[in-house]
Amino acid sequence: ANARTQIRKIAYKSFEEANRPYECAICGSNKHIEIAHIKADSDFDDDSTIVEINDSKNLVGLCPTHHWEFDNNAMNEEDKRKLEEYINNLK
């Protein structure tokens, strides 16, 4: 498996271990959730560990639509605010 697959797999495990609700942080949907990195794995230094990248404080559950909007900087202001609030409340 390549590094990205590995990172993704561990992200899900880390998210689960943090006992976070399996739902979109923005719309609350729980049909299909993707675990997104708040700070993209590509924004970390090369010497960063998978553990750092997948720290539960760097993970957020998003539905596919909101994940795409997040990755493509296409979120509306209200959704950005909801996400910010979610991130600020992470333990």
Please give the pLDDT value at position 26: 97
When pLDDT is averaged across residues 31-46 and rounded to a whole number, the result is 93
This prediction has a pTM of 0.89
Cα–Cα distance, 54 to 4 (Å, whole number) = 11
Is the pLDDT at 62 greater than 80? The verdict is: yes
When pLDDT is averaged across residues 23-40 and rounded to a whole number, the result is 96
Is the pLDDT at 79 greater than 90? The verdict is: yes
Q: How confident is the model at residue 60 (pLDDT cuts 50, 70, 90)?
A: very high
What does pLDDT average to over the chain? 93
